[in-house]
Amino acid sequence: MNKFYDIILTMGMLQVFCITLTIIFPEFRKFIIDNSGSEGLEDVFTRVNEFRIYGLARGYTFTMPLFQGLCIVIATALGFFKTSKYFLLIPIYIFSIAINARIALISILIVPFVILFIGIKKNPGKKIFGLIILLVSIYFVPQFISYKADNSSLYSTWSWLNSGIEEIIDFKSGEIAGNLYALTKTMWFYPEGIELLFGTGVDVFGGIAKSSDIGYVINLYYGGVILSILIYIPYIVLLMTYCKGNLIERTVNISVLVYLFLANFKGNVFRPNEIINGVLVLIIFSITLRILHKPARYVSHQWK
């Protein structure tokens, strides 16, 4: 399974390569946007081109960075349980996320906390040391971002990242502002009565009367509880079914499940996009691996 994980990590590195190209060659970046065929993307690019939208993707500001976060989940699990060399990839993926969408940075925290519950018994010294390094990084990285933002003459990527950190700090202090205010106040609503069960058939993403980016609200308003169950349960069943293998696979699958459901608070994750394609590839890898191994076990059993 580790070789399959390496394939996904390689796909993430290809995106990092594309992001690097669009940073070095702004004309190439603009060429990609101009020929994307998406008016919505061009509008977003006009508003945030100074500090976001780099690389080659469809969902620059949400689902592509989430895929890079999937790579962080895999690299972190492999770093803890296989070889620490995988930790070297994490800053590279963080870079690719930070210049496109902040939400995917939650991937940094998920695996360590999952490991605390399911994998700390194996090599506990190494796990605890890794967690200490992570916690120290969590403390100093915001300080570094704040320093860069304060010393930036223009509103840059550093300023944008720092504004997200400040929103979280304010939220902990009881003050809600910016994106967190929108997510917790104006975008959180749901249908009532029979429409709660069956939905309204209305897509409230970017709506006029009511508008929400929250995936749970979008799916609930469109197809109600029934559609929501049909969307979420298959991912839970498939990822939990194939989390009974080795410790790495179990850690990755549980972490991915947590990652998807947390990210769904920020946008509609459960639809065809980069992150879901990556998760489906993971599931296909798991199924394929078990199909290939079943005959070998069967033959071995027959010869005993």
Q: Considering its fold, how many domains does the chain have in total?
A: 1
pLDDT score for 181: 61
Separation CA 182–CA 176 (nearest Å): 9
Would you say residue 148 lies in a domain? Answer: no
The residue among 130 and 265 whose pLDDT is bigger is 265
**Cβ neighbour number for residue 218 with a 10 Å cutoff:** 25
Give the list of residues 6+ apart from residue 277 with CB closer than 8 angstroms, or none: 67
- For residues 263 and 265, what is the distance between their CA atoms, to the nearest angstrom? 5
Whether 198 is in a domain gets the answer yes
- Confidence category of residue 162, pLDDT binned at 50, 70, 90: low
pLDDT digits (tens, 9 = 90+) for 191-214: 889 999 999 998 998 777 788 889
Q: From CA 229, how far away is CA 219, in angstroms rounded? A: 10
Specify the pLDDT at position 167: 61
132: in domain: no
| Cβ neighbours around 101 below 10 Å, total | 23
pTM: 0.82
**Alpha-carbon span 63 to 213, nearest angstrom:** 13
Instruction: Indicate whether 63 pLDDT > 70.
Output: yes
* Look-up of token digits 């917790």: 184
CA distance 181 to 171: 9
Q: Determine the structural domain holding residue 197 and report its residue range.
A: 2-119+187-302
Contact predicate 23/62, CB 8 Å: no
Average pLDDT over residues 271-275: 93
- Please report whether residue 53 resides in a domain: yes
Helices (DSSP H) in 119-214: which residue ranges? Answer: 124-150, 157-172, 178-181, 194-198
Instruction: Look at residue 171 and tell me whether its pLDDT is greater than 80.
Output: no
Report the percent of the chain where pLDDT is more than 70.
Answer: 70
Is residue 106's pLDDT more than 60? yes
**Domain-located, residue 236:** yes
Q: With contact defined as beta carbons under 8 Å apart, do 169 and 176 qualify?
A: no
Which is nearest to 254 in space by CA: 95, 42, 111? 111
* Distance between CA atoms of residues 119 and 54, nearest Å: 36
pLDDT in tens, 22-32: 989 989 988 88
Q: What are phi and psi of 195, to 5 degrees?
A: -65, -25
Residue 270: per-residue pLDDT: 94
Q: What is the pLDDT of residue 299?
A: 40
In a domain, 171, yes or no: no
What tokens appear for 150 in the block? 């304060």
The two three-digit tokens of residue 30, written as one number: 């603009």
pLDDT digits (tens, 9 = 90+) for 242-255: 766 688 888 999 99
Provide the total of helices (H) and of strands (E) in the chain, helices listed first: 13, 0
Place of tokens 């029979």: 194
In a domain, 293, yes or no: yes
Per mean pLDDT, which of 78-87, 141-150, 201-210 is the most reliable? Answer: 78-87
